[in-house]
């Protein structure tokens, strides 16, 4: 007679899966991505032609949120009337700004600009927006496409608290991948 082995169904129970252990790496990844986008860097898209030819409409940039030290000619993103604008810092706190015959003067001294070559800048003085000197924690910003830019000549000086961060890296389209010029 042939022997048949009988399996006890109770002994062959399946091991319990710990669903939380399996989800934990995904939860950590989501938290890390949210923290990075909230506090370090986030993508921003150019909307319009005010920064042409440096930046094109729909170009994607990487915004540095962690760096709050701004220098002349940095490209910054800031809030203005429920919109995010991208402009270039021209004047810093404590300075005077003037354009005369398409030439930038800071504190009365000529300053070379290498990015707004195809756009004529009309004569302008800081006094035109009721300031003699840029106050502490305020900046004078302009778009590189001077004839098509809503900037400090129109909206006034930008408060440092309004600035979300600076950008100098383009990530899309791929033919524009790399650092943007200053």
Name which of 117, 111, 114 is nearest 180 in CA terms. 114
**Which of the residues 14, 49, 87, 110 is marked catalytic?**
87
The question of whether 11 is a catalytic residue gets the answer: no
**Which of the residues 50, 119, 152, 166 is marked catalytic?**
50
| Long-range pairs, 133-137, Cβ under 8 A, ≥24 | 133/94, 133/95, 133/96, 134/91, 134/92, 134/93, 134/94, 134/95, 134/96, 134/97, 135/93, 136/93, 136/94, 137/93, 137/161
The question of whether 87 is a catalytic residue gets the answer: yes
**Residue numbers annotated as active site:** 50, 87
């Amino acid at each position: 007679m042939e022997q048949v082995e009988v399996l006890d169904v109770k002994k062959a129970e399946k091991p319990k899966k710990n669903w939380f252990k399996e989800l934990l790496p995904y939860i950590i990844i989501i938290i890390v991505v949210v923290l990075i986008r909230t506090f370090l860097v986030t993508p921003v898209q150019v909307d319009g032609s005010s920064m042409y030819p440096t930046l094109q409409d729909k170009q994607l940039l990487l915004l540095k949120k962690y760096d709050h030290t701004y220098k002349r000619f940095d490209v910054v993103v800031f809030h203005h009337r429920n919109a995010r604008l991208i402009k270039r810092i021209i004047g810093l706190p404590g300075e005077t700004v003037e354009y005369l015959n398409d030439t930038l003067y800071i504190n009365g001294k000529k300053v070379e600009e290498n990015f707004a070559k195809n756009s004529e800048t009309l004569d302008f003085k800081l006094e035109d927006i009721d300031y003699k000197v840029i106050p502490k924690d305020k900046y004078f910003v302009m778009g590189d496409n001077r004839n098509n830019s809503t900037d400090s000549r129109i909206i006034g000086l930008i408060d440092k608290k309004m600035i979300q961060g600076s950008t100098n890296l383009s990530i899309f389209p791929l033919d524009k991948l790399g650092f943007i010029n200053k």
